[in-house]
Amino acid sequence: MLVKLLEILLHGMEVVMVKVVLVVMVENVEIVVVVAVATMVVLLMLLLLIILLLMMLLLVVVVVVTVVVEVMEEVEVVVVVV
């Protein structure tokens, strides 16, 4: 009788442990997924920032080059006039 009770208790404990492990695993999977999504979002944001910075640099370079070219043309004209 006691052995049967012990067996039932042990079986119950095993089931509870399995359930707990499953719940923990599911929660951990959710946490891992959330962390993965967060890191992906952060990486995408960083990529966008880098692209924006590169575009800004490109714009600055283009503006500087055009200004320099304009100034050089004006200087040449002035030199020619003189």
pLDDT by residue (tens digit) across 22-77?
A: 777 778 788 778 888 899 999 999 999 999 999 999 999 999 999 998 888 877 66
Q: Does residue 70 fall inside a structural domain?
A: yes
Distance of CA 30 to the CA centre of its chain: 17
Tokens 């043309």 identify what position?
A: 73
Q: Does residue 32 fall inside a structural domain?
A: no
Quick check: 6 pLDDT over 70? yes
Domain count, the chain: 1
pLDDT band at 81 (very low <50, low <70, confident <90, very high): low
Residue 73 sits in which domain range? 56-82
Q: Does residue 4 fall inside a structural domain?
A: no
Q: In terms of Cα–Cα distance, which of 17, 36, 37 is closest to 25?
A: 17
Higher pLDDT among residues 10 and 59, named by residue = 59
- Nearest-5° Cα angle at 29, 23 to 30: 90
